[in-house]
Structure 1
């Protein structure tokens, strides 16, 4: 039996676990915790931090693995690409390319050099230099660590005083101690997930992104994206251009963009599955199993049976269940107003659990199927309420 090394088995990685089981692999999983949801379907657990690429390389060599599977985290992508390159395993871009795409400063430098439509960023590896730069900025600005995900350390600054505060925080959050500062771009935020084969886009999945409790952590996605037809061709053209320049391997290529009413500005790209169990509604929208095909790609397996026609049909969504404040969960109750369109619920926490960071710590997820976009937006966005969780 072939062995696959999976770097994590969190709720976001469940589709990868299922795909590996379906494909018949012996699954070795790593992580800092042995009680994650996908653990019960794995064959062996090794306590190890998946961001420690040398430790993971040692484990991969010791176990003579046939494939390495990244997880839903950029540091997992770095490690998987590094190990694959060292061991000659299939399915991954070069380690250098992986760093270019997943570090905001490196990607922005690449985008500027190759005329990829993206807000121009100024990178900093010195906090002193970044603070001095604030005197030259036209506000508002966005301050971002180069290597964080899920909105960690990202802030809009409307003046220099806020800029100083957020520059200091961004440097604290960044493992690499690098940040970027860029102009704030007004518009709506969206996701555009694609699957590459031979550096060509063969499937898309689009969505609107909404953030309420935490403005820089996506809380609700509705599928498909508004006006995706307007930007689709340009985004596909830009993705295929990136794929050609960097000689990208087959698999998922996802980006986030801001639509200003005229153009799509790419703000971030990544080569991995998405958080918030993104592909539960994404699979329903497109009729394909994105995690399964992503797993085949990372294992270096044949993709010739990938569907020749993939379209977006229907209206789907997820809503992250968040606590209104920190503290011990007193109760969790899904409001009855959602019953008509609620498809399923996946819970991560229960009564009695402690919430330490309610701004970014999901309690669970609700998944929906709607008859049309109007009903979906009215129920989830226009009538937004965060009332499923009560905290003592």
Structure 2
């Protein structure tokens, strides 16, 4: 079967490998010739997949049987409504996808259906009378923390600057203003079948280099059953109301200090920064293969019981808040590296987080005490030092 993977970023590598392992002829498409999956692959197609006419033409030209979204929202949105593929019925309609992927449309949908989301503010109203409470301003259609500003009791000038920054980082030039929720960030990855959850995973998330972009995470052990069941109830409600297709629903949510839950973002594509490998390293469950199987046949056995369930694995994306020419990483102590994926090469120009990524670490901790110690060192920037070239 000819399959088109609509993404060339390194995070889609496990999806690509699972499709190849399934015996499929896999093409990849993307506009960046330097992306991980674009370099060295004979089946790379250089094209702008966000243009649906171009994507449909590629599907026809290469006799593509199925298309599989990668690890960004633009990829999933591009795959909606593409004709002449066998799996068109496995992908949500463009209307449903936009209600989930667009932050403003999702807030409108969630509030209309009593889902737990932060209160949205009318932009014209906040411009005329800025709220005297913590708010957050964000693009409606951006990712990785780009263009986001948190404001405490903002003055009019501060608010307008935040709105303009969000608009500049939005493809549609729209932004969202809502209450800022203080608490712990988590994610919930649920595989949906017949509008019910058949398998799910919970991950604790931190943004140490940039509070709006996750760089450190591990499979959660501290969440109560009550909180889990609240999230499950709301996700199954969303699946039922929107009649979404079977497959992955990935949610970021915050638990505040009163143990209330707040849905922050929901997506239908595979999360980035090799989230799939975090789940696989921690539980033995082949997350990428499971995700891809909903777009092709035969479907992955979602109920499989991993043999090595229960490892304490920490995922950390090495980023920095500085700009420089990358030379090396110098660790301050011995750490239990399970796998390391290098992203930036020596001599690469590193941009501040969230734009620049140097590599991704997977560490296998002996116990929660070691996990806590490494988390503290990462938070305090003591685990490693990033060395840059000294220019004359």
TM-score (norm 1): 0.91
User: Could you say which residue in structure 2 is the equivalent of 1:121?
Assistant: 120
Aligned to 2:55, what secondary structure does the other structure show? helix
Contact 2:252 2:266 in 1 (8 A): yes
Classify the secondary structure of the residue corresponding to 1:203: strand
Out of 202, 215, 233, the position equivalent to 1:206 is 202
Work out whether 1:227 is the aligned partner of 2:226: no
Residue 147 of structure 1, aligned match among 141, 146, 158 = 141
Partner of 1:296: 293
Deviation at 1:302, TM superposition (A): 3.6
1:25-80 alpha-carbon deviations (Å, 9 max, x no partner): 21121112234323468542221122222211221122221101111111111001
Q: Find the residue that maps to 2:90 and give its secondary structure.
A: coil
Tell me if the contact between 1:217 and 1:360 (Cα under 8 Å) persists in the aligned partners: no
* Structure-to-structure mapping, 1:1-392, within 5 angstroms: 2-39=1-38, 42-83=41-82, 89-122=88-121, 129=124, 132-133=127-128, 135-158=129-152, 159-160=154-155, 161-224=157-220, 226-261=222-257, 262-299=259-296, 301-303=297-299, 305-307=301-303, 313-329=310-326, 331-335=327-331, 337-339=333-335, 341-381=336-376, 384=379, 385=381, 387-392=384-389
Summarize deviations over 1:210-263 as a string: whole Å, max 9, x none.
Answer: 112212111111222532533111111111111111111111111011101322
Comparing 260-269 with 156-165, which one deviates more in the overlay?
156-165
- Report if aligned partners of 1:121, 1:181 keep a CA contact under 8 Å in 2: yes
| Structure 1 pair 375–304 and aligned structure 2 pair: CA distance change class (3 A) | closer
Deviates more, 1:171-180 or 1:381-390: 381-390
Cα distance change on mapping 1:63 and 1:359 into 2, 3 Å:
closer
The answer to whether the Cα contact below 8 Å between 1:27 and 1:42 also exists between their aligned partners in 2 is no
Contact 1:131 1:167 in 2 (8 A): no
- Deviations for 1:253-275, whole angstroms, at most 9, x for unmatched residues? 11011101322111110011111
Query: Can you list the C-alpha shifts for 1:288-340, whole angstroms capped at 9, x where unaligned?
Result: 111101111022x24373225579623211111123510211x222515242x
In structure 2, runs of 5+ residues without a counterpart are none
Deviations 1:119-138 (A, max 9, x none): 122365xxxx37625x2423
Q: Please give the alpha-carbon distance, in whole angstroms, between the structure 1 residues aligned to 2:342 and 2:97.
A: 32
Q: Give the structure with the larger helix fraction.
A: 1
CA RMSD of the aligned region, Å?
Answer: 2.3
Aligned length: 383
